[in-house]
Structure 1
């Protein structure tokens, strides 16, 4: 499959509420219920569950499941789900992310491809690479 479109979707985290993980003792893993607002490339919002272990300063891994709802700059609207994560160390922030096939609605019904979080001087953003179907 070929990449047919790349979307740079800038966002801000608007809420992060810790929650207990059943069966996890001694704080080796933690959970957050998070919310984001998308401000450029895609405007809208998302809700996600974020699970992590380790410390951001020395090395951390995270996994997240995120439902994004919004409108692209060209007017297309819908929702889709992304599974993403990273192994974050001081020297490397190897990340991965994929759109879950079949989770799209509206104009996003056929979305498949990758969705990786990157950062620059203006903050975080998804790079969404849509594949042909």
Structure 2
């Protein structure tokens, strides 16, 4: 039987490297390689390929593929991949994300579930609804 539980993983962005998108010209779309450090709930790091369009003032959206490597407070460790995105801002109701089934390694093999970035007074975090 599957078990579902929620983990809130605090993070900070530690790298933001603009990347060109071959064949796409103009300022309507941008891409970066983003790096994060996870500091609470899950301790580790990640690298994400992040593509966005629009502006914060006028409206925007993003899509990202993120590979997270770390350890949970219960000692389980490994890596997994998350696809996530939103319109406007990660806190708006359009925010979505999913752990990609079959991408887990180590103790995270078989990991699945939802993933959503939220912001509060302490900063950004990923909220994972995990099925193991």
TM-score calculated relative to the size of structure 2: 0.93
- Name the residue aligned to 2:112: 112
Aligned pair 1:79/2:79, yes or no?
A: yes
Whole-angstrom CA distance in 2 between matches of 1:118 and 1:47: 18
Paired residues in the alignment total 131
In the alignment, is the contact (CA less than 8 A) between 1:15 and 1:36 conserved in 2? yes
**Structure 2 unaligned runs (5+)?**
none
Structure 1 stretches (4+) deviating beyond 4 angstroms?
none
* Contiguous gaps of at least 5 residues in structure 1: none
Q: CA deviation at 1:3?
A: 6.1
For the residues of structure 2 that align with 1:84 and 1:77, how far apart are their CA atoms? 21
Contact 1:78-1:106 at 8 Å conserved across structures = yes
CA-CA distance at 1:131 after TM superposition? 2.3
**Residue of structure 1 in register with 2:96 after alignment:** 96
TM (normalized to structure 1)? Answer: 0.93
